[in-house]
Amino acid sequence: MPRVSRLMDRIDSTALENLATPGSTERAATQLGADAVLRALENEGVEICFGMPGGAVLPLYDAVARGTSIRHVLVAHEQGAGHMAQGYARASGRVGVVFATSGPGATNLVTPIADARMDSTPLVCITGQVRQELIGTQAFQECDITSVVAPLVKRAWLVRDVAELPGIVSAAVRLARGGRPGPVLVDVPRDVQEAAFAPGEAAESVPPSGSRVDPDAIASVVAEIEGARRPILYVGGGAQGASRQLLELAEQAWMPVVSTLMGKGAFPERHPLFVGWPGMHGLKSANLALNEADLLIAAGARFDDRVTGRLDAFAPAARVVHIDADPNELGKIRRPDVPVLGDLAPTLAATLERGAPFAGAEGRTAGWRRTIAAWTRRHPLRHGTPAHAPLQPQLAMERLAVATEGKDVVWTTGVGQHQMWAMQYLRCERPRTFITSGGHGTMGFGLPAAIGAKAARPDATVICVDGDGSFQMTSQELATSVRAGLPVIVVILDNQRLGMVHQWQTLFYERRLAEVDLSSAMPDYVGLARSYGADGAVVHAAPELDHAVAAALATGRTTVIDVRVDPRAECYPMIPPGAAAVDQVEWSEADR
């Protein structure tokens, strides 16, 4: 048998003998680049990462095998790893970390990176790269990934000097979570991972995050609140870390609150000051409140087109206070009368310290609150309840909400009609309990995000509400859920079609349906779940859903519940394309 060359020939054997052990307080005399990556992540408080090994990242995985305090979760696909890291970050408020190899491993992360950029999720991607002498030669699985992701990340590094590696990894973690959170990428050639060096070099500097709270801006915000009779708090995804201050401001100023899809849960949704969700599939009352407000305080929101509708008709009478950690957002879409640059929690805290209690606020906004309450009564969520017909998806969401009442639930979703029904019918009382793909609208997000959320919140019940089209994009991650012992419940609203596209083709393309029918090749979702070692159930009626959810909660196992819903059901209310938010169309009997 021919002699096989030893894989460790390129690595200094004395370096391996002197490596620091995980948790050691002693500094090793030498260290390999791959181990330096793990030590830097450990020092930054990272406890878990998601990934898949491959040729260019094998030295890093060898370092994992030699020992680390970081738990690694093996995934079925790198896109799934990225979404798991996002779900972990969104549920915990910490940085999500993912490992991938070069070439297709790295490019499979592009969708999660783009998603994290849009939704301000702190994501650290560590990718392997071919050896430096091969870069630029079109070597096997070579890809200039730093150039590919450059428009999507806060920063991308190609590390050529092993001595710089620990500092760059530490800087990447701090940059991802600082200021407006977002994704970063560190690309490490294989020879850099294998190189030995003496640790101790200073970390790369990172610009300080956040900004000093401007007392003049705070004074202006207080003056705006005290002069408003029809104020509204417009809460976005940036508010998930400032829920306590939001609640106090709303209560002290007697100010009604609307929440975007990404802001869902940052303000308790059963609170009497909560109006609902504005935008394309939000509540009519929330859109009317924004339209009639005389003061709009945008707290960590970015005036997304799905919320504003036709921009020139959005909140036409309102003075705008916009608070954001990203200076690029101030004035990007809607010019604020009072721009406030700064992290939301300290800015709101300073506003409360300066203005609360706001004199006369209860009486000043009383008429406004009565008007909004009347709109809420006049424009409730409605859906069909035909006799002897398939289960309505909205009813399924109502029953799911009842079945989980009082439990500590973290919800995730895919993207489509089911996402909007989940927003409408699943009330969230705490921040970081509704995790979805907002800006990028990534189908397939729900299941891997649920696994990541379960890793962050192991004692919580994690439920993914998905559609049949969305679920099939990442259903292989059921294997990850089972293998890693991170059990989640997946509730598929199965209408056998790409529902949102079908709705648009029906309403706006004269019912010319093209490539939206999934019924001809329906998977056996229960059989699929069982093939991965998970449980499964098929549901056709509301009582069956109650039983299936109760059983899944009792077993604590990964479970897929295939809920067969009415394929004719459409998602209302809805803002037609090009229309103003107040022109939202509501459900009527004619839509049955």
Alpha-carbon span 149 to 128, nearest angstrom? 15
For the purposes of burial, counting CB atoms within 10 Å of the CB of 489, is it exposed (0-12), middle (13-18) or buried (19 or more)?
buried
CA-CA distance, 543 to 539, in Å (whole number)?
9
Amino acid of residue 548? A
Q: What is the mean pLDDT of residues 53-61?
A: 98
Instruction: Provide mean pLDDT across the span 394-416.
Output: 97
**Domain residue limits, the chain:** 7-197, 215-378, 393-571
Question: 10 Å Cβ neighbour count for 10?
Answer: 12
User: pLDDT category, 200, cuts 50, 70, 90?
Assistant: confident
Contact between 109 and 50 (Cβ < 8 Å): no
The DSSP bridge partners found for residue 494 are 564
The answer to whether domain 7-197 has CATH 3.40.1110.10 is no
Over residues 163-185, mean pLDDT:
96
pLDDT at 115 over 90: yes
Helix ranges (DSSP H) in 356-510: 361-364, 366-378, 393-403, 417-425, 446-456, 468-474, 478-483, 499-508
- Among 47, 44, 127, smallest CA distance to 88 is for 47
> How confident is the model over 482-531, as pLDDT tens digits?
999 999 999 999 999 998 999 999 999 999 999 999 998 889 999 999 99
pTM score, whole prediction = 0.94
Mean pLDDT of 246-269: 98
Please tell me the predicted confidence (pLDDT) of residue 389: 76
**Which CATH code is given to the segment(s) 215-378?**
3.40.50.1220
Pairing of strands 196-197, 31-32: antiparallel
Q: How far is CA 241 from the centre of its chain?
A: 13
pLDDT at residue number 592: 53
pLDDT in tens, 511-521: 999 999 999 88
Q: pLDDT digit string (tens) for 463-479? A: 999 999 999 999 999 99
pLDDT category of residue 2 using cuts at 50, 70 and 90:
very low
- What's the pLDDT band for 336 if we cut at 50, 70, 90? very high
C-alpha to C-alpha distance for 312 and 322, rounded to whole angstroms: 17
Phi, psi of 126, rounded to the nearest 5 degrees:
-110, 115
Q: Any bridge partners for residue 339, and if so which?
A: 322
Predicted pLDDT of residue 217:
95
| CA 435/CA 414 separation, integer angstroms | 9
User: Residue 561's pLDDT is what?
Assistant: 98
pLDDT band for position 198 (50/70/90)?
confident
CATH superfamily of 393-571: Thiamin diphosphate (ThDP)-binding fold, Pyr/PP domains (3.40.50.970)
